[in-house]
Structure 1
């Protein structure tokens, strides 16, 4: 019983001691570029996962017969579909580049703060630039 009383006192002490103000104004919180890259890596993975049914449906339509292929081609001419494909393209590029970066970090390549910051910035810029270039040529 003495153990539980000590734990309760310790818990109460910790709760009362840690009453710090919480600052959650999202407009004034500045995340480091490494955190932004990590968050974008997760978001791009979710986008890729959610785009799988659409891509499979397009593939099935294009392989069914000539009429379905024509419908798939018409569908790909829509503005919203092109924007979706551009977003999926960015997601794929960013997810692959950031994934390679994280794998290199796992084996202690580029682990220093400045190198990690620089590689995160490079991943974000290159993924966006490649998405614009490839999207301009292929999607639009």
Structure 2
């Protein structure tokens, strides 16, 4: 038997096309994506702080951008990522204590993470728009 035949007979590693997508897997991926989004979204916070320190003219420019429709969409997404990542961190903290690992409970907590992040985002924006 040649060397090529031996390599061809070995099993291949599983990949994403083989795995069945389950809610906790999707939540794990989404937790990483929101973490990366928060990392880059902090540049917005730093930009706003620089604008505050730079004076009223530049501050008005930056708040004008943040106050546009596109700015609101970006800030809304940043708020949702913050809430989703926070609740995902609490979910992982719960798992670190050894609780909530049962199959049915894992899915319920993951679903509560999705619903909770949406509800908290809407509540924060309703309060923010009511105060402004």
Q: Could you tell me which of 10, 21, 24 is aligned with 1:31?
A: 21
Q: Note the residue ranges of structure 1 that are not aligned, 5 or more in a row.
A: 1-7
Q: TM-score, normalising length from structure 1?
A: 0.76
CA distance in 2, matches of 1:84, 1:91: 10
- Report the equivalent of 1:112: 102
Is 2:91 the partner of 1:88? no
| Runs (4+) off by over 6 Å | none
RMSD between superposed Cα atoms in Å: 2.9
- Report the equivalent of 1:97: 87
- Report the equivalent of 2:67: 77
- Report the equivalent of 1:18: 11
Is 2:116 the partner of 1:123? no
Aligned pair in 2 of structure 1 residues 102, 23: CA closer, same or farther (>3 Å)?
closer
Matched length: 126
CA distance in 2, matches of 1:135, 1:54: 17
CA distance in 2, matches of 1:107, 1:48: 26
Q: TM-score, normalising length from structure 2?
A: 0.80
Between structure 1 and structure 2, the one with the greater Rg is 1
How is 1:1-12 mapped onto 2 (pairs within 5 angstroms)?
12=6
